[in-house]
Amino acid sequence: MRAIFLAGGKGTRLRPYTTLIPKPLVPVGEYAIMEIMVRQLIHSGCDHITVSLTNQAHLVSAFFGDGSRWGIKIDYSVEEKPLSTIGPLKLIKDLPDNFLLMNGDILTDLSMRDLYDDHCKSGATATIATYERNVKVDFGVLETNEDKRIVGFVEKPIEHFRVSMGIYALSKKILDLVPDNTPYGFDKLMLNLIARKDNARSYPFTGYWLDIGRPDDYDQANDEFEKMRPRLLPDEAGK
């Protein structure tokens, strides 16, 4: 099982924590965020990780090295210019037929092996790990008709959305859609696959998931880490 980490962002939303170090190396407990995910991947049977980098590449590569510290192969792909979330895959010449792609700033107890196996068995072009988010609207919401007459009202409704977790299982076939040396994001990939009526699937997940994008998320991660530790780091159970 091969995994690609997207770790080239500048982490501007997480400042001041990312002023001096890149977001994947920001610590949660005694581990860097991305190290937790590396350990999970190893536990799931992954044997090769490629880290896609732009910003502060030398710091991330210095920390993870060649992966021998964890008994896994880790190598790097460095963008000369930002290529968004899917564009960097075109730079990696040895991608297998199916692989995992993920952001390097996520805490989750999702089984990477189960996601990968489900994707391979389905024959899907893309399998997206998804999570249900409930968003409360802090206003009274009015529904009007064409004559501006109010025909409905809901006080502070809660909207339900199924969102991407930032973890994907992909077929190498998606590279046919990706232009060379041009920014190409996950949004464009989804729209193109939908337009082509391609086999893009959701992998619903109901466990623990936290996208560490803002200072509040980072504080929550540290508050919850010890409680969630057995689920986030199953490899420690054998120590």
pLDDT over threshold 50, residue 100: yes
The DSSP 8-state label assigned to residue 19 in this structure reads S
pLDDT score, position 20 = 62
Name the average pLDDT for the chain.
89
CA-based end-to-end distance of the chain:
24
Question: Does some domain include residue 116?
Answer: yes
pLDDT at 63 over 80: yes
Report if residue 143 sits inside a domain.
Answer: no
DSSP-derived pairing of the beta strands 140-144 and 150-155: antiparallel
Is 152 part of a structural domain of the chain? no
Q: Does 144 fall in a domain?
A: no
Report the pLDDT value the prediction gives residue 56, as an integer from 0 to 100. Answer: 64
Residue 183 lies inside a defined structural domain of this protein: yes
pLDDT of residue 10: 56
Task: Give the pLDDT of residue 26.
Answer: 82
What lies within 8 Å, CB to CB, of 80 at 6+ separation is none
- DSSP tag of 190: H
Contact criterion met (CB below 8 Å) for 119 and 203: yes
- Among 10-19, 93-102, 206-215, the minimum mean pLDDT is found in 10-19
Has residue 55 got a pLDDT over 80?
Answer: no
- What pLDDT digit, counting tens, does each position of 149-203 carry? 999 999 998 989 999 999 999 999 999 999 998 999 999 999 999 999 999 999 9
The pTM score is 0.87
Predicted confidence band of residue 15 (pLDDT cuts 50, 70, 90): very low
The pLDDT, as a whole number, for residue 236 is 74
Q: 144: helix, coil or strand?
A: strand
Q: Which of 4-18, 69-83, 140-154, 168-182 has the lowest mean pLDDT?
A: 4-18
Residue 86 lies in a domain: yes
Task: Tell me what percent of the residues of the chain surpass a pLDDT of 90.
Answer: 63
Within a domain: residue 153?
no
Residue 17 pLDDT more than 80?
A: no
CATH number, domain at 187?
Answer: 3.90.550.10
Strands (E) in the chain, as ranges, are 2-6, 27-28, 31-32, 48-53, 73-78, 98-103, 106-108, 126-136, 140-144, 150-155, 158-171, 200-204, 209-211
> Is 70 exceeded by the pLDDT of residue 9?
no
Which of 74, 86, 77 is closest to 42 using CA atoms? 74
Per DSSP, 79 falls in state -
Range of the domain at 175: 2-130+164-238
In a domain, 157, yes or no: no
Number of domains in the chain: 1
> pLDDT by residue (tens digit) across 115-130?
999 999 999 999 999 9
For the CA atoms of 65, 69, 74, 75, the dihedral, rounded to the nearest 10 degrees, stands at 20
